[in-house]
Amino acid sequence: METTLIILKPDAVQRGLSGRIISRFEEKGLKIVGMKLMQISQDLASTHYEAHRERPFYAGLVKFMTSSPVVVMAVQGVGAIAISRSMMGATFGSKADAGTIRGDFGVSNSFNLIHGSDSPEAAERELKLFFKDGEVLSFERPGDAWVYDMSSGSPE
């Protein structure tokens, strides 16, 4: 099982899309093991996006991410990182396929609704930035028996 960070960005929250986007993750079979509405501080945004510090869009990105509340989620499942990124669609809404979150709800190349960790290493780092110890939960979900085929002894 992988756990990944998902952020519903200020444009998703301001447009009232949070519930519809969260539902997509649950309907896919992924488990939400942590979630909160928060205002990202300047320091947290700067740390989260530090890999982009030298890029021309960095200052605008930090300003955007601190402009309004966001929803942060810890999402878990087999292959959760790749599945989540596939669900998100291409970075730019104008280029994202229909059926993806960005393809269905976005047209902007700047406001792209959602962030998802791009690797296990990034997920581990990012989850620690946004969730304190004890805020990402571990629990059984009986319905998982209908999400994953366990007949071979491991989830498929």
> Measured between alpha carbons, how far is residue 74 from residues 25, 31, 152 in Å?
11, 8, 27
Catalytic residue among 115, 127, 130, 136: 115
* Helices and strands: H and E segment counts in the chain: 7, 4
Residues with Cβ < 8 Å from 95, sequence gap 6 or more? none
115 has catalytic annotation:
yes
Active site residues: 115
